[in-house]
Amino acid sequence: MPLPDPPPGTPGAAPSADADRAAPARPATTPAAPAAPAAPHGAASSGAIRRGVRSFVKRGGRITGAQERALAELWPRWGLEYEGPGHTLDLPRAFGRTAPRVLEIGFGDGDTLVQLAKLRPERDFLGIEVHPPGVGHCLLGIEREGLSNVRVMRHDAVEVLTHAIPDAAFDEVLVYFADPWPKKRHHKRRIVQPAFVALLARRTRPGGVLRLATDWQPYAEWMLEVLNASPCWRNRAPDGRYVPRPPERPVTKFERRGTRLGHLAHDLEFERRD
Ligand SMILES: C[S@@+](CC[C@H](N)C(=O)[O-])C[C@H]1O[C@@H](n2cnc3c(N)ncnc32)[C@H](O)[C@@H]1O
């Protein structure tokens, strides 16, 4: 797939039989009591997530015939609909089993999600992305690899996490090469914010891990500042800064482009405090 247009401001062991049997049950949401607000969990400065400020812009972008087919034909098997406030996802039902669960936010074309899911069949992977061609590309990868441990959502991850995900749902959360929004007036669009990392902490089990990577040095520093100030997360780097690149993390197209531009990728790793 061609690299999706960057948004304005972007520089630059086989799955269990049980999983196969029970997978397609949908909708996998349970009507819930009115969703709890994204309680900031002791977040630093800003209280709640700012409504109307999104970390993405709707991009047109080309969609291939294969991606369109994937969205039409493969979505019913691997896609999970976001049904709005009041509908909490039943993740064990969606995956057809209970297994350690990984969330990838903003998976782009989904190559990382597919590679990791193939590598770790004992884990379930939920990917959230707003860009339809990327979702289509990801669905094609899931089909090609015959994976049963991946589900995808096509919606704003902030809304999904706020309204549709139960507490302590994830063992691991991945935020790789999030849009850096380099201009100062756009910094409010950066997805890594005090309220957002507090929300992520609520949806991650105690002891769970948050991994981030970025090739935009000022955003890396911003992430460090936000996360090191959070009472919910403990930096696993001995010096309180960056960790070595995790060997399992695949190189993405966005990372390759950054490398061509001379940007160095930084990896961050935080553990959810009890
Ligand atoms: C710079 S790209 C990186 C994609 C991928 N992680 C990679 O490394 O190749 C950032 C992606 O995050 C997605 N994104 C941004 N904000 C999002 C949100 N709130 N919910 C879901 N996806 C989002 C964008 O659509 C875009 O595909």
85: containing domain: 17-44+62-272
Can you tell me which atom of ligand 1 is nearest the CA of 160?
20
Q: Which of 63, 160, 177, 214 has most ligand 1 atoms within 8 Å of CB, for mutation?
A: 177
Burial of 124 (0-12, 13-18, 19+ CB in 10 A): buried
Residue 37 has pLDDT above 60, yes or no: no
Please indicate, yes or no, if residue 6 is contained in any of the structural domains.
no
Tokens coding 114 = 């597919």
Please tell me the distance between residue 212's alpha carbon and the centre of ligand 1 in angstroms. Answer: 12
Tokens coding 183 = 């201009």
Please indicate, yes or no, if residue 9 is contained in any of the structural domains.
no
Residue 187 pLDDT: 97
pLDDT tens digits for range 134-150: 999 999 999 999 999 99
Shortest-distance Cα residue to atom 27 of ligand 1: 108
Q: Cα(166)–Cα(203) distance, rounded to whole angstroms?
A: 6
In this prediction, residues 68-78 reach a mean pLDDT of 98
**Which residue(s) pair with 124 in the sheet?**
101
Please indicate, yes or no, if residue 142 is contained in any of the structural domains.
yes
pLDDT tens digits for range 219-248: 999 999 999 999 999 999 999 999 999 999
Using a 6 Å cutoff on CB, does residue 108 contact ligand 1? yes
The CA R_g of the chain, rounded to the nearest whole Å, is 18
Using a 6 Å cutoff on CB, does residue 82 contact ligand 1? no
CATH of the domain at 168: 3.40.50.150
Using a 6 Å cutoff on CB, does residue 249 contact ligand 1? no
Please indicate, yes or no, if residue 49 is contained in any of the structural domains.
no
Work out how many domains the chain is built from and give that number.
Answer: 1
Can you tell me which atom of ligand 1 is nearest the CA of 178?
10
> Could you tell me which residues come within 8 angstroms of residue 117 by beta carbon, excluding any fewer than 6 positions away?
123, 125, 142, 145, 147, 149, 150
Please indicate, yes or no, if residue 7 is contained in any of the structural domains.
no
Closest by CA to 155, choosing from 64, 86, 38, 56, is 56
**Inter-residue contact 107 to 129 (CB < 8 Å):** yes
CA angle 24, 29, 35 (to 5 degrees): 160
Using a 6 Å cutoff on CB, does residue 258 contact ligand 1? no
pLDDT tens digits for range 178-202: 999 999 999 999 999 999 999 999 9
Shortest-distance Cα residue to atom 13 of ligand 1: 106
Please give the positions annotated as active site: 179
Residue 34 has pLDDT above 60, yes or no: no
Please indicate, yes or no, if residue 136 is contained in any of the structural domains.
yes
Residue 157 pLDDT: 98
Please indicate, yes or no, if residue 187 is contained in any of the structural domains.
yes
3-class secondary-structure state, position 82: coil
pLDDT tens digits for range 38-49: 333 333 345 677
Please indicate, yes or no, if residue 55 is contained in any of the structural domains.
no
In this prediction, residues 71-91 reach a mean pLDDT of 97
3-class secondary-structure state, position 89: strand
In this prediction, residues 12-36 reach a mean pLDDT of 39
Using a 6 Å cutoff on CB, does residue 55 contact ligand 1? yes
Residue 270 has pLDDT above 70, yes or no: yes
Confidence (pTM): 0.86
